[in-house]
Chain A
Amino acid sequence: AQTVTQSQPEMSVQEAETVTLSCTYDTSESDYYLFWYKQPPSRQMILVIRQEAYKQQNATENRFSVNFQKAAKSFSLKISDSQLGDAAMYFCAYRSPQGGSEKLVFGKGTKLTVNP
């Protein structure tokens, strides 16, 4: 079974600075998707960025980018020019390619605080 580990329960960053959230996962599959979701105090989970395992190029979405290291099974999220609105819980998630399997496997999350 796949597992996702986020080793940083909490992180903090100064406004306008850069922060990196770590995520590692365990799988025997060669093709899969990885996601970072953001959950602000409103509780709604919002997709931040996703990475296809067969793509070597790291995904980027504006100030958000990932460092995907397939061999190391590492999928970290970098937030540049941090803003107060970035404060939230961040969840790393794995999705299997097995047909009919909709199971998103989540990590325990990292609480990000942005200091003004």
Chain B
Amino acid sequence: ETGVTQTPRHLVMGMTNKKSLKCEQHLGHNAMYWYKQSAKKPLELMFVYNFKEQTENNSVPSRFSPECPNSSHLFLHLHTLQPEDSALYLCASSTQTGALNTEAFFGQGTRLTVV
């Protein structure tokens, strides 16, 4: 049990499809994050939510649309993606933002392939 659960684990979608990634945490955290992990590149922070409010959008294209209905759930809605968007998408959560010693807990990721 990781505490942070992501579904699905694997997703293959066409460029015209619309799909959603889901992240759920049962750790009582109030901050949640989406990261993108591409081959041979550092993990890139995409979005940050604190108490359901988006506090950071790291210049992510609009074809990625996050949603945070409550502090336990985070979604990433995908539409008209490009093949270069294929990557591992990691969700993370932490106790609060702005605290230096906050530890981020990660899910196991969704391996996305855009065809």
Contact = CB atoms under 8 A, between A and B. Distances in A.
Interface of A: 4, 31-33, 37, 42-47, 50, 52, 91, 95, 97, 99-109
Contact of A32 (B45, B58, B100): B100
Interface string B40-51: 111101001010
B90 A50 contact: no
B31 A43 contact: no
Interface of B: 2, 31, 33, 40-43, 45, 48, 50, 55-56, 58, 88, 90, 92, 94, 97-98, 100-104, 106-109, 111
Given A4-B42, A44-B2, A102-B48, A52 B100 contact: yes
24 contacts: A31-B100, A43-B109, A43-B111, A44-B107, A45-B90, A45-B92, A45-B104, A47-B103, A50-B101, A52-B100, A97-B100, A101-B98, A102-B48, A102-B56, A102-B97, A102-B102, A103-B45, A103-B48, A103-B58, A104-B104, A105-B42, A106-B42, A108-B41, A109-B42
A108 B108 contact: no
Nearest to A91: B43
Given A33-B101, A102-B31, A44 B42 contact: no
Top 7 closest pairs, chain A to chain B, by CB: A45-B106, A106-B43, A106-B42, A44-B108, A43-B109, A102-B48, A99-B98
